[in-house]
Amino acid sequence: MKQFLITVAGVIVGSLLFCILGFFMLVGMIGAASAPPAQPGHIVLSLDLREPMTDQRPSNPFAALGGGPALLDLITRIDAARTDDAVEGIYVRANTDGMAAAQAEELRAALAAFRASGKFVVAHLQNDGVRMSMPGYMAIADSDEVWLQDASEFMPMGLSSETTFFAGTLQRYHMQAQFETREDYKTAAHTMTQRTFTPQHRVSMLSLMNGLYDSMLANIAADREITPAAARTAIDSTPFTGTRARELGLVDQLGRPEEAERAALARAEDAEIVDFADYRPPANTRGRVIAVVQGEGAIISGVPEDGFFGEDSAMNSDRIAQALLDASEDEDVAAIVFRVSSPGGSVVASDQILAALRTAQERGKKIVVSMGDVAASGGYYVSAYADEIVANSSTITGSIGVLGGKLIIGPAMDHYLSTNTETLTVGSPLVEMFTSERPFNQAEQAAFAGFIDRAYSNFIGLVAEGRELTPAQVRTIAGGRVWTGQQALERGLVDHIGGFQVAVTRARALAGIAEDDRVQLRFYPAEESPFKALEGLFGASSASIEALVRINAALSDPRTQRVMAAMREEDASVRAESEAPTVR
């Protein structure tokens, strides 16, 4: 028993020591990160696009430790490198697994602007799968050199969309999905309520896919300097061997990544490869401020919740509304770019965000919405009143419609688990309308349908007012239809085709900032201090954590260490004298 208690005590003490030491190691790393190493005088940046990327930089300072890059961060760094005399070119590891078409379109534009400044881009494709990402190829097709590994092939290209329908599965397992939708093209619930594509669902998907495909073909044809017909014939005829792809002008060189990297370095003078994550662009603290309010993910209400290493994976209405209000109250801010990358979500949460946007406008701020890879349904709802909307030609937008419902699992519980659920109610006879035990009764369905009708009518009305259209005009392009950015432009739902940098340019113009004047970007919600994040984890105050970091940095300074060493020597000398025998 005694040995057992000693062992338990040892484990507890060891765990505590591990936590304490781990904490101070983390604090030390934060202190070290505050002093980045000097950049070489000649740089070739290494940009790896093979990791999945989020649209926006997280406000959590530790999220980068647990995820891939953010598109906006890459775009702003490429733009900074464009004017950085130390950067001579970029070496890109292209994405072949798949990426959003709109992400590829923005990267393509950023790399094109970089090349237009007189610098080079060398890209390498290393495909070992059965299909090659068409958006990933489009992103780098305009490079000075496109390399394909000899052992790789130029694999089948195109677009495909697999949809799994669960209505039969639910029926088999004694479950049922019950939804109200407005209108026929609002098809998000069809995977639960249908066994196959409805005619409207099929038409909507094929229209979207053909729009995306045509846009990418046009970009590839322009970048590879071939005719659109030749590009279509080539892509439709894939796969090819690497040799055949080079003959058709789809790639320039065959070789391994190391060879492509050496080719990139050969274009520069005494340059060193620097990873994009380690690149520190020159700080820009001059010029008027353009606020960038970031919103990514499903639109939800409720208390904002973030894990310690988590990303901002949802557009929490409290957080986004407050960010818009904070930006509008900042006297330094000349205009606001609201970046929206969302498939939609809660009507109430969307309304809260839209109200904050309109308040910011009432305070005199011009607002330009920059749509990411998707800004549909609630994502379009929060954008409708912006002074201007900018979307990529590949952005998925629209879906002006409403749906809602519930999944009924009570019969499955009864059948498989022999349960018996009974409900007691007081108050409204509709108080249990969202129970999962049974379908809506007639009164409940009528009440819920009324709510959906009002939400849809309100959606139509606000789009009509925000876009200066009549409700009848909006209804002809609504009905839940999804559009590419190009299709949305043709229907008056967006104002300009382009990515984030185009939105910044439009915000500058609306704010009256001259084209050659410098601007600085200020992101909202602001990135949380690392010390504040640690406070939430360890329960210590951010001030005390910051003090520990500064103490750690001071103790690590060589000058401090020399002083401490001298103090120890003096102390040892005094102690030796005091302990020496005395001769009387």
**Same domain for 247 and 337?**
no
Nearest to 466, CA basis, from 322, 357, 347: 357
Residue 194 lies in a domain: no
User: Where would I find the H helices in 421-557?
Assistant: 442-466, 471-477, 485-490, 500-510, 530-538, 542-556
Enter the tokens of residue 397.
Answer: 């937008």
Whole-angstrom Cα distance, residue 379 to residue 389?
12
As for how many domains the chain has, the answer is 3
Tell me, yes or no, whether 143 and 86 share the same domain.
yes
Per residue in 248-267, pLDDT tens?
999 999 999 999 999 999 99
**Which phi and psi angles does 129 have, rounded to 5°?**
-100, -160
| 343 and 454 fall within a common domain | yes
How would residue 98 be classed by pLDDT, with cut points 50, 70 and 90?
confident
**Residues 10 and 54 reside in one and the same domain:** no
pLDDT at 46: 97
- Is a pLDDT exceeding 90 seen at residue 545? no
Identify the CA nearest to 328 among candidates 34, 190, 171, 524.
524
Across the range 99-128, mean pLDDT stands at 96
CA distance 529 to 536: 11
Give the per-residue pLDDT at 581. Answer: 39
pLDDT category at 285 given cuts 50, 70, 90 is: confident
Query: Do 479 and 486 meet the contact criterion of CB atoms below 8 Å apart?
Result: no
15: pLDDT strictly greater than 90: no
Boundary of a domain, candidates 224, 251, 278: 278
In a domain, 477, yes or no: yes
Nearest to 90 by CA among 127, 126, 119, 110: 119
Q: What is the mean pLDDT of the chain?
A: 86
For 362, the domain range is 288-530
Q: Is residue 183 in some structural domain?
A: no
* pLDDT digit string, tens, across residues 209-251: 999 999 999 999 999 999 999 999 999 999 999 999 999 999 9
Per-residue pLDDT averaged across 108-128, rounded?
96
Mean pLDDT, rounded, for 528-538? 51
> Does one domain contain both 300 and 430?
yes
What pLDDT score was predicted for residue 40?
87
Which pLDDT score, from 0 to 100, does residue 195 have?
96
Share of the chain above pLDDT 70, in %: 81
Q: 164 in a domain, yes or no?
A: no
C-alpha to C-alpha distance for 248 and 242, rounded to whole angstroms:
10
Residues near 228 by beta carbon (within 8 Å), at least 6 away in sequence = 217, 218, 221
The CA distance from 23 to 20, in Å, is 5
- Give the dihedral sign, CA 351/352/354/359: positive
- Residue 501: other Cβ atoms inside 10 A: 19
The C-alpha atoms of residue 548 and residue 565 are separated, in whole angstroms, by: 21
3-state secondary structure 266-311: HCCCCCEEEEHHHCCCCCCCCCEEEEEEEEECEEECCCCCCCCCCC
- Residue 283: per-residue pLDDT: 80
Tell me: do 47 and 121 sit in the same domain: yes
Cα separation of 322 and 315, whole Å?
12
CATH number at residue 394: 3.90.226.10
Q: Are residues 384 and 395 in the same domain?
A: yes
> Residues 447, 566: one domain?
no
- Distance CA(456)–CA(184), nearest Å, equals 13
For the segment 552-578, what is each residue's pLDDT rounded down to a tens digit?
A: 555 555 555 555 565 555 555 544 444
Across 72-209, the runs of DSSP E, i.e. the strands, are 87-93, 120-125, 145-148, 153-154, 176-182
pLDDT at 544: 45
Q: Is the pLDDT of residue 540 over 50?
A: no
> Which position has the higher pLDDT, 581 or 364?
364
* Residue 322 within any structural domain of the chain: yes
The answer to whether residue 190 is domain-embedded is no
How much helix, strand and coil, in percent to the nearest 5, is found in the chain?
45, 20, 35
Residue 526 burial (10 A CB sphere; 0-12, 13-18, 19+): exposed
* The pLDDT of residue 577: 42
Q: What is the distance, to the nearest Å, from the Cα of residue 197 to the centroid of all Cα atoms in its chain?
A: 30
Task: Work out the percent of the chain whose per-residue pLDDT is above 90.
Answer: 72
Q: Rounded CA gap, 485 and 370, in Å? A: 11
Global confidence as pTM: 0.84
Query: DSSP assignment of 356-400, as one string?
Result: HHHHHHHTT-EEEEEEEEEEETHHHHTTTTSSEEEE-TT-EEE--
Q: Which of 223, 254, 278 is the last residue of a domain?
A: 278
Asked if residue 360 has pLDDT above 90, the reply is yes
Judgement on whether residues 270 and 345 belong to the same structural domain of the protein: no
Angle, CA 450 vertex, CA 447 and CA 451 arms, to 5°: 90
Same-domain pairing of 142 and 129: yes
Confidence label for 341 from pLDDT (cuts 50, 70 and 90): very high
Top-confidence residue, 304 or 431 = 431
Q: Are residues 460 and 394 in the same domain?
A: yes
Query: What 3-state DSSP class applies to 38?
Result: coil
Same domain for 423 and 327, yes or no, is yes
What are the backbone dihedrals phi and psi of residue 113, each rounded to the nearest 5 degrees, phi first? -65, -40
Q: Does the structure show a pLDDT above 70 at 582?
A: no
